[in-house]
Amino acid sequence: MSPENQDNSRPAPEELQELLVDDPAVPAEPKPEADRHNAKGLDFLYDIPLQVSVEVGRCKILLKDLVKMSEGYVIELDKLAGEPLDLYVNSKLIARGEAVMVGKKFGIRLTDVVSTVNRIENLG
């Protein structure tokens, strides 16, 4: 780690990029399609659980309104019907998409994914 980052636990973006680039000194082996996008040396991270959430919308309410809530109470959100839902992983925006039915459950079909570079820069 560079000296300016020693007191910061987050690595610099160029250090993260180095981890994602294959080592040119090692001869390349043919990889399955799914593995071509995997980052070299980061396999140990794949089993870390992540919190995934989908946000339909937001609003601010007063405490007195929160106390009055009961079944049937309607909360108006800041998004219009038909606008994309936001997909967050560990409270970081990762993608946007539309609600779909998967059997009897809801799902999200991704329509816009944040670029890999932006996702790496927003870690931590």
- Which residue ranges make up each domain of the chain? 1-47, 49-124
- Its pTM stands at 0.58
Q: Please give the pLDDT value at position 8.
A: 45
CATH match for 49-124 among 2.30.330.10, 3.40.1190.20, 1.10.3720.10, 3.90.25.10: 2.30.330.10
Q: Are strands 105-113 and 85-89 parallel, antiparallel or unpaired?
A: unpaired
Count the alpha carbons within 13 Å of 123 in the hemisphere toward its beta carbon.
Answer: 14
Measured between alpha carbons, how far is residue 15 from residues 26, 43, 94, 106 in Å? 19, 17, 21, 38
Q: Please give the pLDDT value at position 17.
A: 57
Q: What tens digit of pLDDT does each residue of 15-72 get?
A: 555 555 544 454 455 555 555 555 567 788 888 999 999 999 999 999 999 999 999 9
DSSP secondary structure letters along 73-117: -----SSPTTSPEEEEETTEEEEEEEEEEETTEEEEEEEEE--HH
